[in-house]
Amino acid sequence: MTHIPDPNMVFPNEYKTSCFIKNVITAPNILVGDYSYYDDAIDPTGFEKNNVLFNYPEFGDKLIIGKFCQIASGTKFIMGAANHRISSATTYPFNVFGGAWSESTPPHMEQLPHKGDTIIGNDVWIGRESIIMPGVKIGDGAIIAAYSVVVKNVSPYTVYGGNPAKFMKDRFDAELKDLLLRFRWWDLAPEQLVDILPLLCDPDLIKLKQSLAKKLA
């Protein structure tokens, strides 16, 4: 068998415009699966610094990205600490400027809205310059159109786009979506994946549906 890409490499090919994200992450609250990559001709290894904004682990939220995700240049993930208090008369963050303002302001973190973890499933394609807001869950196999702002959860194997991102279409019928979600090809060992790639990359969806049904029987 010829070479299988190593998920523990930073750059999977000689172009060095895409990096496997998990290998450039240092924050304990950012978790990324094997083979998920970020593409950026300028600084792909700067994903954590440039693309995960307002990330303060002490806030308590996580960014979880599954396996085999494809994240295009300029995509931004906004973490929960970016929020301002909205339950009081003013949203101004007086406390962050120190001095008497900080001393007179109630505890800041306790008043911020908590949206929970941001979770990106497996085999998700996020288009260029998209923004993923705090607490959003994007299902397996979903596609986010370029320049979208995702503020609500996205179902598996659907296409969303716009600002705010809205449902555009289902990628497949309900039967094929169910088969793919049960088969979970992204959990296969790399050697097993090689054998099934011709099927996964074949546009003949009827053939795919029949093959998956047999494998899951």
Domain residue spans of the chain: 18-171, 172-217
What is the residue-wise DSSP string for the chain?
------TT-S-SSTT-SEEEGGGG---TTEEE-TT-EEE-SS-GGGHHHHHEET--GGG---EEE-SS-EE-TT-EEE-GGG----SSS----GGGG-HHHHHHSPPHHHHS-----EEE-SS-EE-TT-EE-TT-EE-TT-EE-TT-EE-S-B-TTEEEETTTTEEEEESS-HHHHHHHHHH-GGGS-HHHHHHHHHHHT-S-HHHHHHHHHHHH-
| pLDDT for the residue 56 | 93
| pLDDT for the residue 86 | 86
Query: What integer best gives the mean pLDDT of the chain?
Result: 95
Burial class (CB in 10 A: 0-12, 13-18, 19+), 216: exposed
CATH T-level fold of 18-171? UDP N-Acetylglucosamine Acyltransferase; domain 1 (2.160.10)
Q: Is pLDDT at 165 greater than 60 in this prediction?
A: yes
Per-residue pLDDT reduced to its tens digit, 51-63: 999 999 989 999 9
Q: Assess whether 3 carries a catalytic annotation.
A: no
Strands 166-170 and 158-161: antiparallel
Cβ–Cβ under 8 Å, residues 150 and 138? yes
Tell me which of 1 and 217 has the higher pLDDT. Answer: 217
Q: Is pLDDT at 170 greater than 70 in this prediction?
A: yes
Identify the band that residue 110 occupies on the pLDDT scale cut at 50, 70 and 90. confident
Q: How far apart are CA 136 and CA 117, in angstroms?
A: 7
Q: Structure pTM?
A: 0.95
What is the residue-wise DSSP string for 19-78?
EEGGGG---TTEEE-TT-EEE-SS-GGGHHHHHEET--GGG---EEE-SS-EE-TT-EEE
Active-site residue, selected from the candidate residues 3, 84, 108, 114 = 84
Q: How open is the CA angle 26-27-29, to the nearest 5 degrees?
A: 140
Identify the band that residue 131 occupies on the pLDDT scale cut at 50, 70 and 90. very high
Mean pLDDT in residue range 28-46: 97
Stretch among 41-50, 62-71, 111-120 having the lowest mean pLDDT = 111-120
| pLDDT for the residue 1 | 55
